[in-house]
Structure 1
Amino acid sequence: MPYNIPNHLKGLTEAQLKASRNQFGYNEVDHQKKDQWYYLLLDILKEPMLLLLIAVAIIYIIVGNTAEAIFMIAAIVAVTAISFYQDNRSKKALQELEKLNEPLSAVIRDGKVVQIPTHELAVGDLCIIEEGKMINADGKIVHSNDFSVNESSLTGESFSVFKSSTTEDPKVYSGTLAVSGLAVFEVEKIGQETQLGQIGQSIHSIDEERSPLYLQINQFVRNMAIFGLLIFLMVCVYSYIKTPNILDSLLAGLTLAMSVLPEEIPVAFTTFMALGAWKLMREGIIIKRSSVVETLGSTSVICTDKTGTITENSMQLQALYDFKTNRVYNETDFKLPEVSSLIAYAMWSSEPVPFDPMEKTLHRIYQENHANDERTNFQMIHEYPLDGKPPMMTHLFENSSGERIIAAKGAPEVILEVSHLPEAQKTLLRAQILEFGKNGWRVLGVAKGHFEGHEFPEKQQDFNFEFLGFTVFYDPPKKDIKEVFQKIDDAGIKVKIITGDHADTTQAIAQQAGIAHSGHAVNGSEIVECSESELQELSAKTILFTRMFPEAKLAMINALKRNGEVVAMLGDGVNDAPALKAAHIGVAMGNKGTEIAKAAASLVITNDDLGKLITGIAAGRRIYANIKKAIQYIISIHIPIILTVSLPLFLGWIYPQIFTPVHVIFLELIMGPTCSIVYENEPLEKNAMQQKPRKMTDTFLNGKELSISIVQGLIITLGVLGAYQYTVQMGGSEEKTRAVVFTTLIFSNILLSYVNRSFYYSVLETFKNRNLLLFGVTTITLLVLAAILFIEPVTRFFKVTSLSASEIGFAALVAFASVIWFEGFKLWKRIGKPRD
């Protein structure tokens, strides 16, 4: 970005930078306790499942069962290692996200403006800060243009403060926001030494709001833990009454408690969210709160700006309308003397250091068509920043001779109003504006001001303005934007365009972009006059919202939310911040977005491509669907484990302790990776992006889905306990019965993990979705089962016997029947409710 910085500002040389870095270090503040391995280990060992395993290991040691004790210790190591693996993956993903969230800072070094990561700011640097950017170090202003800053993060005062090198307080502070203008400040304090560093404020201190799904999952796990404790006590008492052996009773109770506790669920949720955010980061979508990953899949309305989101943000000067000659000039005529004054005043009304695409274009056109470039001869002496409804802006310049330039530009209707033209002329000019708007062109009015003296009016509208004409820009829709909006429509998501532009321009661009809209565009000034009920009705039926200002944008977002919509708001400017904060998903643009917009947003699209939001929504739907599959799988497979452990004991069957802690923990070690790693890797189901968005309040615990999991679990239980009774009736020993029951449950677990890959499509269809992790876990499970059944020391340890081919076939057949019935249910669903 080109900056018109005074020539005397040179900044640090390489040698000075090195000396500063050696003395003061980097611009870093870290208030977080480092995650040392022993802290992590301590947190893992506090988990209920680990405490149960430790208790079982201690009991085995006391009773002298050395082999079982060693196995339990190995299980503790395995479960801890899996937790370490999950935590490290999540932590690395979050660290990568933090790196991408770090803003760049513009500094002057060796007389050149360079962009550097903010942590590389050094004491003595000359840092350039402009409207919409966050200040990232403490320093003293050395040059400014109508610069104001919001210091509420330090002072609590919400009003902006104008500052310059001559004001009473010429200092700027880290963590504050530039609201208008531009300043160059010399960095005096960085990192821990800044005011922000001293009082210990950091983004890390902000608690993340927990999502409804997270809270419901935690509540479910807590209830199951309480249930497990009650079962543990009940089984201990019951077992002790039957056999007055305290250690055996404790083992029986602990075995059942281990089978009840669904500790995989919170691990799965954390893994899915962290890895989901990390995968989106690789797609150019930076998630700032992990709960947003879940919310993305529920998006039902996208509120999008027009410029730079739907359009290319190229803002090429298409035409000029000169008021004096009453003529439209095209690009080949820009060198004509008739439009020289119009071009010049359009440029002077822009920022001296342009960052808006239109203003950059005006500076370029002025430079190309004016042989005598006056920009270095005039200094800005006063500025009226963009304000008003519709908005305008005015700049005042003066040279060393006292010659003054007063230039204004803004929405054509407001420029016509302040120019005090006769009504008949205004009518003709409005007709010209409409003509431009029909082509999708953006029109700005330009005016020349006159004022003597130095007591400038309080409001820019009070100047005596002379109307000069219109600058006409064209910002064409992006090439692939029609396909993007088609995908949004296919996904059942509504689109609202919320823009500050003129209605005719917006309607033309919407049509070119393939956005179907009926009815007239609603103006921002109309919105503020509506009641809440009128706003809700308006937000439901209107597609195009034009001439929108911050209060109007915020009102529309809140109205849509009251209608029950899950709202994604796309914005890039300072004025978008309230709406971005209020939306369920605030989406900032990575390239053209201001730091204020990025700070308010929960998601940043690095390349400003609206299509990336569709990628994010698809990821959100995939992650939610996979979490649901994982949790339903956990519930379904826990039911047969719980009932196989408890029913033989309570019903007084011949072998009451068919499973010991060894068998239960083996099953847990299979289920953990399956639900948290394997299901996380499942791809998006076919046609998932052709479905209507789910309600955000829907979770895995709704009655229908929970009942399906319970029925799946109960039918597997019938199969497993049926295999138990059949083996006993056939004269099977306890070891033989345990082997058949255990093998049946392992086969059922494997089949369930495949069947539950989709609750709609057949298992044969889901085989087309490659998931190598699932096949890997299946292979390892079968190899370990083979070792348990056929390697003598392992067989003795698990207290089972080898099984014949017919017995293994019987176990596989029972498991198949217990699980595969669900394919018939899915077929019935497909026939009754086709997704296509």
Structure 2
Amino acid sequence: MSIDNFGINGLTDDEVRLSRATHGQNRLDYKKENRFLSILKSLAKEPMVILLLVASFIYFISGNLGDAIFLAMAIVLVASISLYQDTRSRNALEKLKQYTQPHCKVIRNGTVIEIRSEELVIDDCLMVAEGSIITADGRILHSNDFSVNEATLTGESLSVYKDAGKKDNIVYCGTTVASGLAIARVIAIGNNTRWAAIGQGLQDMQEEKTPLELQIQNFVTKMAGAGTVVFLIVWGLNFFYSQNLLDSLLKALTLAMSILPEEIPVAFTTFMALGAWRLMKMGIVVKQMKTVETLGSATIICTDKTGTITENKMDLARTYDMSTQKVRSLEGPMDAAAEHLIAMAMWASEPIPFDPMEKALHDCYSQRIPVDERVHYKMVHEYPLGGKPPMMTHIFENAAGNRIIAAKGAPEAFLEISQLTKEQQQQIIETIRQLGQDGYRILGVGEAQCKEHHYPKNQQDFPFHFIGLVAFYDPPKKNIPSVLEDFHKAGIVVKIVTGDNAVTTTAIAKQVGFRGYEKSMTGDQLMELSDAALQEKVIEIQVFTRMFPEAKLRIINALKAKNGVVAMIGDGVNDAPALKASHIGIAMGKKGTEIAKEAASLILVNDDLAKMIDAIAMGRKIYTNLKKAIQYVISIHIPIILVVFVPLALGWTYPNIFTPAHVILLELIMGPTCSIIYENEPMEKNTMVQKPRLFTTTFFKWKELITSIVQGLVIALGALWVYQLAIKYQYSEESTRTMVFVVLITANIFLTLVNRSFYFSIWDSLKNKNKLLPVMIGITILITALLLFVKPFTQFFKFETLTIFQFFCSSMVGFITTIWYEIVKWRTRITTAAVS
């Protein structure tokens, strides 16, 4: 049925441009806080910035202008780094927002086209169907059994039926289409819609923190608390010995700066935002940031068959009509029975088809039926897809009052409601089995007669006459066998959850080498089980057929009850509850309905299951790299803390070897390492052959935390040993400070290299390309060279140019105190190889 049947041509291109120029774009624009001011406010709350401000102020009032200016410049530098990281994160999220915008269909120039909802204009003819999200307010021009769920506006859960002839003929932005089809002329967009006021409330809502965020926040809070306690103790001790308030305060501030791990929250935000951006570039749109951290934990993927495992081509390949009881191909001439079967299958489809099977039926009707009757008939009633097994019915009438009542759906849906003998039912079942074994997807077709104007409430109450079967062939995607193998290697179980029948699903599963294709369970069988029995069964069974929303939801909940981290792939309205309930809801970008995309947390733009391997790999990589970054921060902070605290607490010769200026200098050199180098670190080669990490696992495992602490303590011991060595040789305070500083800088460089992997050797890690690694190490070496050999810098920081012996000794200690961990990694590899 052409769009011409509705007599609606929509706007022309010129009218669209004029309307947009007059009324603007369809987007919600709220008064936003000045971005620069918001960044300044957030910086003013940063503990490190506050400490720097206090230290700088103390230097100013005590007359030490050089250090005061340096710390003031450090504040600007810290602010610049924060601004840079914030900008990277915001830009990544802004690009994600563009990709997650809903799309809609409009009639323009007499043609149905798909556009982004933002491109809608006043007077556009918006076409919405079951599964759509309405993206502007509009007045209905035409509808067929059209109902909408307006719970987002009214709180009412029941669907509301609307049409052009009713008083309530307005559809509202933000509501969803529950059934039918409608064409509405847009009357309000953007801030002028009823949704806009609610949207303002949503803009102001704060997103709930994820478990990982809470763990990191808790860790940083504890460190800040410890820093405050130590700060007060050191301030008290210094003041007790020196009776100098400002000097003792400065020394205490130095220690507080060394304790505060301000890089960790920055690293978390950067990793998650840039991870989502990298996924987007791969064709995977992440709608919720928490999905990034969850991806690496996925243990089970529940996938649909059609369009995910198969190509979703749906070529009409075979017919079976009851009159001849023969299966036929579509090659060669067709008899009257076959023509009637195809015609009824087409009438049972949507007038404007969007489903691949319905498109195939319309195309076949156009090509094979001599007289096209579609121009003479108008749809007067529609029963949407429903029932168990599901079916749908459409009723058409022409000007003369002739009526067509056609239905299609799962063949089993017609067995009980059609007047079929036991023998006929058995023949149909056998035909379904034969076609299913060859991998065909099968629909039953029926017709009914009804001269009354009041239709039954349920479509199953019509006296249907079963006409026959239409069979579609949807070949498996060529890459699916290798994709399934990759999931298996990664320790991820794949389960097929489909509305198709068991025979067809099993045939396709067997073709692609799907593990566990031999056993299957239907939705009805599943619903008969108790929760306890189902929880055991879902682990055993890998193929679930004839599924409906309630059954899919029970599968997800049962898998979650067995501690599975579940990813659910869906595309239809009926998939929305399961998508919402799963840990990772995945919608298809091309064939997915807008409701499915809204319910999902991740969208595969090109409907390619192989992208889920990439997404899980990215999730694991981000999690691993974030952990490396935080372990690095912990390890490198410990020696700074101890080098500041131990000489002071034990009353060594030079008790205040580092001032706030030295600590902030170390922070500025070392800080970017964790978020810049480690965020860009490539995935380790064994990442995708490991089992998924448990979702319940805390981020900071004791073993990993102890590793970081030990690494930090060894570096600290090395730095303090060099300190004592310098004292032994009676070096000046400047030389001692410089030697300790070189130890820490060298340790920083080699710790970065060693901790690129806690399993593979440093030599293996060097083969992994990270373009930013040599850049950051080069900058560190350059800064160190400037501090050691350029006199103004050397004098300002109270350093001294070292002798060859001093420099060699310091750098060798920095090297040894980090490279020792390679022995631990070597033993780990030996042990792992022995076990495997």
Q: TM-score range by the shorter chain?
A: over 0.9
- Give matches, 1:113-262, under 5 Å: 113-201=112-200, 204-262=203-261
- Give matches, 1:742-781, under 5 Å: 742-781=741-780
Backbone CA RMSD of aligned residues: 1.4
Q: Determine the structure 1 residue equivalent to 2:265.
A: 266
Superposition deviation, residue 425 in structure 1: 1.6
Q: Determine the structure 1 residue equivalent to 2:793.
A: 794
Aligned pair 1:594/2:586, yes or no?
Answer: no
SS at match of 1:545: strand
Q: Contact conserved, 2:484 with 2:514, CA < 8 A, in 1?
A: yes
1:230 is matched by which residue type in structure 2?
V
Superposition deviation, residue 4 in structure 1: 2.9
Q: Determine the structure 2 residue equivalent to 1:312.
A: 311
Superposition deviation, residue 674 in structure 1: 0.3
Superposition deviation, residue 35 in structure 1: 4.3
Aligned pair 1:80/2:65, yes or no?
Answer: no
Q: Contact conserved, 2:4 with 2:110, CA < 8 A, in 1?
A: no
Note closer, same or farther for the CA distance 1:754–1:249 as it changes in structure 2 (3 Å cut): same
Superposition deviation, residue 435 in structure 1: 1.0
SS at match of 2:456: coil
Q: Determine the structure 2 residue equivalent to 1:494.
A: 493
Q: Contact conserved, 1:212 with 1:697, CA < 8 A, in 2?
A: no
Note closer, same or farther for the CA distance 1:387–1:201 as it changes in structure 2 (3 Å cut): farther
Q: Contact conserved, 1:407 with 1:446, CA < 8 A, in 2?
A: yes
Deviations 1:643-677 (A, max 9, x none): 11001101111111011111110111122210011
Deviations 1:620-650 (A, max 9, x none): 0110010000000000010111011001101
Distance between the aligned counterparts of 2:469 and 2:446, measured in 1? 9
- Give matches, 1:231-630, under 5 Å: 231-333=230-332, 335-517=334-516, 519-630=518-629
Deviations 1:134-160 (A, max 9, x none): 111111100112211111110111111
Q: Contact conserved, 2:440 with 2:473, CA < 8 A, in 1?
A: yes
Deviations 1:18-58 (A, max 9, x none): 44333322211123624421221221222111111111110
SS at match of 1:238: helix
Distance between the aligned counterparts of 2:200 and 2:11, measured in 1? 29
2:318 is matched by which residue type in structure 1?
A
Q: Contact conserved, 1:447 with 1:469, CA < 8 A, in 2?
A: yes
Distance between the aligned counterparts of 2:98 and 2:266, measured in 1? 25
Deviations 1:361-395 (A, max 9, x none): 00111111112100110111111111001101111
2:370 is matched by which residue type in structure 1?
A
SS at match of 2:5: coil
Superposition deviation, residue 205 in structure 1: 4.4
Distance between the aligned counterparts of 1:5 and 1:248, measured in 2? 86
Distance between the aligned counterparts of 2:318 and 2:651, measured in 1? 92
Q: Contact conserved, 1:301 with 1:494, CA < 8 A, in 2?
A: yes
SS at match of 2:395: strand
Q: Determine the structure 1 residue equivalent to 2:24.
A: 25
Superposition deviation, residue 458 in structure 1: 1.0
Distance between the aligned counterparts of 2:811 and 2:133, measured in 1? 63
SS at match of 1:735: helix
1:441 is matched by which residue type in structure 2?
Y
Q: Contact conserved, 1:153 with 1:175, CA < 8 A, in 2?
A: yes
When structure 1 is superposed on structure 2, of 525-534 and 630-639 the one drifting more is: 525-534
What TM-score does the superposition give when structure 2 sets the normalisation length?
Answer: 0.98
1:338 is matched by which residue type in structure 2?
A
The alignment of Structure 1 onto Structure 2 pairs a total of residues equal to 835
Q: Determine the structure 2 residue equivalent to 1:42.
A: 41
1:170 is matched by which residue type in structure 2?
N
Deviations 1:159-208 (A, max 9, x none): 11121101231110000011222111011111111111134456544543
Note closer, same or farther for the CA distance 1:619–1:3 as it changes in structure 2 (3 Å cut): farther
Deviations 1:213-249 (A, max 9, x none): 1110000000111111111111000000010001111
Q: Determine the structure 1 residue equivalent to 2:645.
A: 646
Q: Contact conserved, 1:700 with 1:706, CA < 8 A, in 2?
A: no
Distance between the aligned counterparts of 2:120 and 2:826, measured in 1? 62
SS at match of 2:374: coil
SS at match of 2:157: coil
Which ranges of structure 2 fall in alignment gaps of 5 or more residues? none
Deviations 1:545-596 (A, max 9, x none): 0010001000100111111111100000000000000000000000000000
Superposition deviation, residue 520 in structure 1: 2.3
When structure 1 is superposed on structure 2, of 401-410 and 116-125 the one drifting more is: 116-125
Superposition deviation, residue 338 in structure 1: 3.0
Note closer, same or farther for the CA distance 1:287–1:334 as it changes in structure 2 (3 Å cut): farther
SS at match of 1:681: coil
Distance between the aligned counterparts of 1:398 and 1:790, measured in 2? 93
When structure 1 is superposed on structure 2, of 103-112 and 136-145 the one drifting more is: 103-112
SS at match of 1:145: strand
Superposition deviation, residue 455 in structure 1: 1.3
Q: Contact conserved, 2:132 with 2:595, CA < 8 A, in 1?
A: yes
When structure 1 is superposed on structure 2, of 213-222 and 108-117 the one drifting more is: 108-117
Deviations 1:295-318 (A, max 9, x none): 101110000000000000001111
Q: Determine the structure 2 residue equivalent to 1:826.
A: 825
Q: Determine the structure 1 residue equivalent to 2:62.
A: 63
2:604 is matched by which residue type in structure 1?
I
Distance between the aligned counterparts of 2:565 and 2:151, measured in 1? 30
Distance between the aligned counterparts of 2:657 and 2:715, measured in 1? 16
Deviations 1:119-138 (A, max 9, x none): 12111111111111111111
Distance between the aligned counterparts of 2:631 and 2:3, measured in 1? 61
| Percent identity (aligned) | 53
Q: Contact conserved, 2:140 with 2:182, CA < 8 A, in 1?
A: yes
Q: Contact conserved, 1:31 with 1:200, CA < 8 A, in 2?
A: no
Note closer, same or farther for the CA distance 1:519–1:203 as it changes in structure 2 (3 Å cut): farther
Q: Contact conserved, 2:506 with 2:518, CA < 8 A, in 1?
A: no
Distance between the aligned counterparts of 2:325 and 2:157, measured in 1? 46
- Give matches, 1:89-104, under 5 Å: 89-104=88-103
Note closer, same or farther for the CA distance 1:598–1:204 as it changes in structure 2 (3 Å cut): farther
SS at match of 2:446: strand
Which ranges of structure 1 fall in alignment gaps of 5 or more residues? none
Q: Contact conserved, 1:632 with 1:700, CA < 8 A, in 2?
A: no
1:770 is matched by which residue type in structure 2?
K
Distance between the aligned counterparts of 2:714 and 2:8, measured in 1? 79
Deviations 1:397-431 (A, max 9, x none): 11111111111111111112211211122112111
What TM-score does the superposition give when structure 1 sets the normalisation length?
Answer: 0.98
Superposition deviation, residue 358 in structure 1: 0.4
Distance between the aligned counterparts of 1:308 and 1:18, measured in 2? 36
Distance between the aligned counterparts of 2:522 and 2:18, measured in 1? 57
